Structure 1
Amino acid sequence: MQMSEPGVRLLYEAARELGLELGPVLPSFQLLYRRLLEANRATNLTAIRDEKGIILKHFVDSLSCLKGDGLEGSLRAIDVGTGAGFPGLPIKIVRPALHLTFLDATQKKIAFVEAVCQELGLAPVRCIWGRAEELGQHPDHREAYDRVLSRAVGSLSVLSELCLPLLKPGGVMIAQKGPGVEAELEHAQAAIGLLGGRVREVITFELPALREHRSLVIIEKVGPTPSKYPRRPGLVQKNPLS
């Protein structure tokens, strides 16, 4: 269940391509790797189960968020649709000062994230079983975060309605996307503006080792989100803003 020596080298070298030195935190990634494999024996947390896939498509892909806007210091951040803890867990391991909230609608996944955070001693963190549509209307969370992270599957119009209500004016949303995001961006521009956002930049790169194309869409919150957004669960996905 341990990450193999070639796997450790792959993680270390791929992270170096991103400008990160993982030496001091490699034991934390080893533990996360073990716990992910163990949990997958009992429940389906992720379809990616091979060593190379976990290292590159979960760990390194998550760390690529650090190419985006400042995740340094004690910022308040939220990982929307974290699933089994990605991108949040790898980022929290290398940026321990972040005040990071993990949000997912699947109870078994958020329970896994909470257990791993406790075992790794990651703090401050908060793990919430719930939906972004509801959290975005809650006074403790609405416009309360400096950074919103998401690599959840969904169009930028949908992700923007789920994520921008959580973001403070002046804060930044970092959305992980694949190649060819330009058409999606064009379709989402009106929705992003309506929700108080503005696209600051799109960072394109190749994921180390895999050489797959990735994009980070960086959206800045430039104004308040109208109070009727996000809409109730179901409407956001069924009738995306355009």
Structure 2
Amino acid sequence: MTPDGRKLLLDSAMAFGVNLEPALPRFELLYERLVEASATTNLTAIRDERGIVLKHFVDSLSCLKSSKLEGPLRVIDVGTGAGFPGLPLKMVRPELEMTFLDATQKKIAFIEEVCRAMNLAQTHCIWGRAEELGHNPAHRETYDRALSRAVSALNTLSELCLPLVKVGGFMIAQKSQRVEGELEQAQAAIRKLGGTVQEVISFKLPGLGELRTLVVIEKTSPTPPAYPRRAGVPAKNPLS
């Protein structure tokens, strides 16, 4: 990472009240590994330094605006891709027990390698689908928090994430646009899955000025046993 890239990362994180100085070597290592791996493997479409710093690292850290990631929580990052938002969050909140879930094996392999290189404790990498994990007794309703910045609609994301969250826990969905209409369409599905929208936080991403939104959903009652439905169904036929 260049000096300009480091300064951009430090300054942008400080806009969220996060001092990244202690974790900077790990962010530099993640940047180097991501650039190196992306040269031969399709991990991310974002390849330039500014894009990686702002759209991956800083965007991931924006989850901290929710104030729901304090303490030794058990967290699952659903559809993590190359490790976002989970890796940057784990790097600045080492007390989090972070599970990375993705359906693409090469992405999970990349995260495993990075976690080993950084000696990150309490990290778990799972190659699989949320529709299946949500029915696994070892995972169903066992997590304090579920994170996702996938592009799926909010009702689809809720069906993938909420079955994994224990009652009293929270799901945090990262969205890249205004969500009023999407949220209205998803309200019935969220209730059906045992959730209640607690907070919607809108802000502009430092360094880019692009709109971002966090939708914070509390798990207020158990998810009915029928959910999540079988693999692929939540995306093809979203709950209403």
Q: TM-score range by the shorter chain?
A: over 0.9
| Equivalence map 1:44-83=2 (5 Å) | 44-83=42-81
Q: CA deviation at 1:239?
A: 0.8
Q: How far apart are the structure 2 equivalents of 1:24 and 1:226?
A: 43
Q: How far apart are the structure 1 equivalents of 2:232 and 2:123?
A: 28
Q: How far apart are the structure 2 equivalents of 1:189 and 1:153?
A: 18
Letter in 2 for 1:117: C
Instruction: Check if 1:231 corresponds to 2:238.
Output: no
Q: How far apart are the structure 2 equivalents of 1:39 and 1:221?
A: 37
Instruction: Check if 1:94 corresponds to 2:92.
Output: yes
Structure 1 unaligned spans of 5+: none
SS at match of 2:39: helix
CA RMSD in angstroms comes to 0.6
Q: How far apart are the structure 2 equivalents of 1:61 and 1:100?
A: 18
Q: How far apart are the structure 2 equivalents of 1:90 and 1:14?
A: 14
The match for 2:13 is: 15
The match for 1:42 is: 40
Q: CA deviation at 1:70?
A: 2.1
TM-score by length of 1: 0.98
Is 2:178–2:211's contact at 8 Å kept on the other side of the alignment? no
Is 1:196–1:223's contact at 8 Å kept on the other side of the alignment? yes
Q: How far apart are the structure 1 equivalents of 2:187 and 2:74?
A: 26
The match for 1:142 is: 140
Letter in 2 for 1:17: A
Deviations 1:200-227 (A, max 9, x none): 0100001001010100000000000000
Instruction: Check if 1:180 corresponds to 2:172.
Output: no
Judge which range, 177-186 or 27-36, deviates more: 177-186
Is 1:69–1:172's contact at 8 Å kept on the other side of the alignment? no
The match for 1:218 is: 216
Q: How far apart are the structure 2 equivalents of 1:176 and 1:204?
A: 10
Q: CA deviation at 1:179?
A: 2.2
Structure 2 unaligned spans of 5+: none
Is 1:69–1:218's contact at 8 Å kept on the other side of the alignment? no
The match for 2:191 is: 193
SS at match of 1:42: coil
Letter in 2 for 1:72: E
Is 1:101–1:126's contact at 8 Å kept on the other side of the alignment? yes
Q: How far apart are the structure 1 equivalents of 2:175 and 2:232?
A: 22
Q: How far apart are the structure 1 equivalents of 2:227 and 2:159?
A: 7
SS at match of 1:186: helix
Percent sequence identity over aligned pairs: 67
The match for 1:26 is: 24
Q: How far apart are the structure 2 equivalents of 1:25 and 1:234?
A: 37
Deviations 1:5-43 (A, max 9, x none): 011000000000010001111000000000000101111
Q: How far apart are the structure 1 equivalents of 2:88 and 2:55?
A: 12
